[in-house]
Amino acid sequence: MKSMTGFAKRQCTIADRKFTVEIKTLNSKTLDLITKIPATLRTKELDIRALLSPLERGKVDLIITEENGPATAAHANSELISQRFADLSRLAQTLGQTNDHLLDTILAMPDVWGTANNDELTDTEWETLAQTISQTVADVDAFRLHEGEILKKDFIKHVDLIEQKLQAIPQYESERIANAKERIMRYFADAAIKEIDQNRFEQELIYYLEKLDITEEKIRLAKHIDYFRHTMDTEENSGKKLGFVAQEMGREINTTGSKANHVEIQKLVVGMKDELEKIKEQLGNIL
């Protein structure tokens, strides 16, 4: 089991350039890649995205920065500066203004500065960077696996509690029958009905209790709990399937609550719902 939350960072030096590769991942229904890379790597963007594909699903932010190389050396666009100085000097003369600080003003303009055009990485240099990216992806995957194991332990705890509450229900079921019978008899008494056909009464009571019977719900919920555990233990990338199983567990718990007709069973149902909600809160982060 893997979480979709991950982080990793690696560096490599290629000639006089130091590259830093940083990957952050969060939960998402699909693989959502966002890349921020130097201009010198634009032609490799498709290759970089392919290297990220093992992450499979989630919001993936990749940041590659380049330092200490010619790519980061700012240079002045002398042609643009000269043209702008000439234009502004003529305007200043027309307006009767001095141009004492005109050059300083122009140099403060960000668009007159740029970075030197760098040669693209050679095939060998690219292989070095690609290997660093792949290693960073592997680190993220290991991070996700570690986080997934933590979440798995949390899921097991909540599923165990749901099962414990499910197993506590039978102790109250015989009491439900007695309460139902007492409730119906009280109704007859309040209605001043003195003569009761005992056989007919028993038949109606059985029919009433069949409508409140939760045996099937308990059996199905127990099976869903077993399937949830089995899926966690045997399947990779099980987030979506576990979500479906949790939905089915919720249906059985809700039906049990609607049929319970007993305060102690209702308390157990509320407890099961609470544990299931804690599971659902984290399932969205499972790969």
What are the respective helix, strand and coil percentages of the chain, to the nearest 5? 65, 15, 20
Ramachandran angles phi, psi of 31, nearest 5° = -85, 110
Distances (CA, A) of 37 to 120, 269, 285: 13, 52, 27
Residue 12 or 97, more confident: 12
Q: Specify the length of the chain in residues.
A: 287
User: Which positions ≥6 away from 132 have C-beta within 8 Å?
Assistant: 10, 11, 12, 19, 21
Gap between the Cα atoms of 28 and 26, Å rounded: 7
- Average pLDDT of 19-38? 94
Q: Where are the beta strands (DSSP E) in 57-104?
A: 58-67, 74-76
For 148, left (φ over 0), alpha (ψ -120 to 50), or beta? Answer: alpha
Residue for token digits 């634009």? 42
Does position 85 have pLDDT exceeding 70, yes or no? yes
pLDDT band per the 50, 70, 90 thresholds, residue 168: very high
The DSSP symbol for 122 reads P
- Average pLDDT of 25-29? 92
Instruction: Please name which of 3, 2, 7 lies closest in space to residue 140, comparing C-alpha atoms.
Output: 7
Q: Are 57 and 27 in contact (CB under 8 A)?
A: no
Q: Are 261 and 212 in contact (CB under 8 A)?
A: yes
Q: pLDDT tens for residues 250-273?
A: 999 999 999 888 899 999 999 999
Does position 171 have pLDDT exceeding 80, yes or no? yes
Does position 122 have pLDDT exceeding 60, yes or no? yes
Question: What is the reported pLDDT for 115?
Answer: 54
DSSP 10-79: EEEEETTEEEEEEEEEE--SSEEEEEE--GGGGGGHHHHHHHHGGG-SEEEEEEEEEESSGGG-EEE-HH
Does position 77 have pLDDT exceeding 70, yes or no? yes
Question: What is the reported pLDDT for 48?
Answer: 96
Q: pLDDT tens for residues 1-24?
A: 999 999 999 999 998 889 999 999
Q: Which of the listed ranges 39-43, 94-98, 127-131 does the model predict with the highest average pLDDT?
A: 127-131
- Per the structure block, which two tokens stand in for 184? 């119906």
- Per the structure block, which two tokens stand in for 252? 């059985």
Question: What is the reported pLDDT for 165?
Answer: 97
Question: What is the reported pLDDT for 147?
Answer: 95
Gap between the Cα atoms of 79 and 223, Å rounded: 76
Mean residue pLDDT of the chain comes to 87
Q: pLDDT tens for residues 185-216?
A: 676 666 666 666 777 667 766 777 777 789 99
